[in-house]
Amino acid sequence: MRYACILLLLIGCTSKRANPPSFAHEGSVFLDLDLPTPNTFRTGSGAPGSDYWQQQADHDIKVRLDVALNEIVGSEVIQYKNNSPDTLTYIWLHLEQNVHRDDSIRSREGRETGEDQYEGIAITRMEIDGVDATWHDYATVAKVLLPTPLKPNSSVKIAIDWSFAMPVKASLRMGYDDAYEDGPVWELAQWFPTPCVYDDVYGWNSLPYIGRGEFYTNFGNYKVAITVPSNHVVLASGALANSTVVLSQEENTRLKSAMQSDEKIVIRSVEELEEESAQEKTWIFEGKQIRTFAWASSASFIWEAASVEIKTLEGKANRILCQVGYPKEESDIWDEAVTYLQHSIRYYSDTIYPYPWPQISMSRGSAGGMEYPMLVFCRGSSHESLFNVTDHEVGHNWFPMIVNTDERRHAWMDEGFNTFVNHYSLENFYGDREHKPDVSKYIASKFMRDLKAINTPPDLLKSRRHLSYRKPGYGMRFLREEILGQERFDEAWLDYVHRWAFKAPRPSDFYRTMEDSSGVDLQWFFRGFFEEPMQLDQAIGNVEQTDKGVTVTFRNLADWVCPVDVTITCLDSTIHTYTLPVTVWAWSSSHKQTFKLNSKAIKVQIDARNVYPDINNSNNFWSASK
Ligand SMILES: [Zn+2]
């Protein structure tokens, strides 16, 4: 017989506690985190406030890939709308390709960028509302002085002409790859000047591009005209708006069929790859409310597509086009790639938020895995590894492409949240539990000497793989399955996503939403798991048998706290499980409790399922025979 006695976790408000415990860390872990004071932009419930605002940056870009010079030549008009209550006198721009320049922070740190004497972005024109702009170049960011102040609810037109040599080594999320017989693959990302985010929390978010922090950008509508050799296929962060101009009639017919087909349709086969010519074509893409724009182009792309039906927020059926482009050398591994896209789009749409754009594309070049809206760059050495990377990169279309996380400061809110949802997507795809995260990997990370808090900017992290991906991914699953339970967690989690879809949350907005919607005080969890690098070591101390049952003294030997998952096995073969609430540690690191039993206890165990991040399991067990 097996029964469970689940004691409720501490439920209640997060208001200030009047009297902090007088002893060291045991009680202070429960105190309120030092979060920003709620206001009309961001509320105490974790939802956007009634005055929430964000800037809008619409881009109209014309770009030409000059294959002879291996150069990108662009011209853009950015319509920048100031929705803030503030008057702006300057605008900060990202110039991310300058990361390869000798004077970038990354280069000056002596870190390899793959390029020698790289000249960066050559800006030949920058005008603000038709007036030549004054601007200062600080490598990966630039400060543009506005000729007249930009008032609230006003817009400004920023026109920029620029060019840069294509970095030839694949590094920093984009690349040029000439390893294929039918022509090189160009993958372009973080490639055009664009305004930094101005927000209510930091003002201008002008953190430089050093490498580990990915990007934090404005939502905007994009129209991008990409001119490439006429034999190329282009995949991009948008819907193709001029397919009748750039595709043959046959290709157009196939593309239309793919939009209605669950089965893969070959749009351009290996036999149909075209010879080089001096002709060019301009592919026009449109993307609505996306936070950046990337593209991939190659004469070697075999192009395949199908679509998948999802439900919109209003519950209507909607088909999403899923397309891949890859060189023939990858055929053995990429033959099922369209299926992977279909799975991930369907799974995340069903379980998180409906995919909001008309298509998703995936290219194979030297960059990747890397994620952009509607386009991911992926590589894999087997079907399984390609599926895993595809699912991860497509998952990023939710975090941070829909829920706009500041990746320069809070990488865990995109990589960690994405890793968390990937666990379930993989389980759904493979139909088993093999992909459950391994607690031991997380525990191993606790012993790394340079361990910092998860909520540390990624450029300050050495152990990013642990702290931005694995540990927060595991922590979210632990919070769901062990601390809150699926019902309470899922409602709060979906509230977080739906409240902040197409907006930009900070960690405090996440913490507050999770508490507000689940009704559970989680300050101790967020402090110990995300905000401070704490450790958990629960132990069984003294065990006394009495006529009424067994009295166990539990000890909390490290600085973090958790509920206590107890399993008692009796002489009559009954097994009894209990979850002691985390509040047993509210005023002491020692807790004594009597469990009424009808038979003598022969075994007492903590965390018998091995799902807690306990750094020392050797003290979790007591047996009558020992
Ligand atoms: Zn990722």
Q: Residue 500 above 50 pLDDT? A: yes
Q: d(Cα 214, Cα 150) in Å, to the nearest integer?
A: 28
Mark the residues whose beta carbon lies below 5 A from ion ligand 1: 415
338 and 261 in contact (C-beta within 8 Å)? no
DSSP-derived 3-state class of residue 623: strand
Least confident of 293-302, 335-344, 433-442: 433-442
- Cα of 466 to ligand 1 centre, how many Å? 12
Helix (H, G, I), strand (E, B) or coil at 624: coil
* The domains spanning 2-14+537-623 and 30-50+421-531 adopt the same CATH topology: no
Average pLDDT over residues 253-282: 96
Largest separation between any pair of C-alpha atoms in the chain? 93
pLDDT score of 625? 74
3 state DSSP class of 257: helix
Write down the domain spans for the chain: 2-14+537-623, 30-50+421-531, 56-245+252-409
Residue 1 has pLDDT above 70, yes or no: no
CATH code for the structural domain at 2-14+537-623: 2.60.40
- Rounded to whole angstroms, the Cα distance separating 214 from 292 reads 12
Mean pLDDT of 3-20: 35
| pLDDT, average across residues 67-72 | 96
CA nearest to 88, candidates 182, 151, 9: 151
Q: What are 349-385's pLDDT values in tens digits? A: 999 999 999 999 999 998 889 999 999 999 999 999 9
Indicate the pLDDT class of residue 508, thresholds 50, 70 and 90.
Answer: very high
How far does Cα 431 stand from its chain's mean position? 24
Each residue's pLDDT tens digit, 328-353: 999 999 999 999 999 999 999 999 99
Q: Hey, what amino acid is at 312?
A: T
Ligand 1 centre to CA of 474 (Å) is 15
- Mode of pairing for the β-strands spanning 375-377 and 538-545: unpaired
Ligand 1 centroid to residue 316 C-alpha, Å: 30
Buried b (16+ CB within 10 A) or exposed e, 112-138: ebebeebebbebeebebeeeebebebb
In terms of C-beta density within 10 A (0-12 exposed, 13-18 middle, 19 or more buried), how is residue 110 classed?
exposed
Output the CA 471–ligand 1 centroid distance in Å: 14
Structure-block tokens of residue 168: 């030839």
* CA 148 to centroid of ligand 1, rounded, Å: 40
Distance 43 CA to ligand 1 centre (A): 29
Once rounded to an integer, what is the mean pLDDT over residues 411-418? 96
What number of CA atoms fall less than 13 Å from residue 251's CA on the CB side?
17
**C-alpha 326 – ligand 1 centre gap (Å):** 21
The domain defined by 30-50+421-531 carries CATH number 1.10.287.70 = no
Q: In whole angstroms, how large is the CA radius of gyration of the chain?
A: 27
The CATH topology of domain 56-245+252-409 is Immunoglobulin-like (2.60.40)
Give me ligand 1 centre to Cα 619, in Å. 36
- Burial group, residue 524, by CB count within 10 angstroms (0-12, 13-18, 19+): buried
Provide CB contacts within 8 A for 188, sequence distance 6+.
Answer: 72, 174, 294, 295, 296, 297
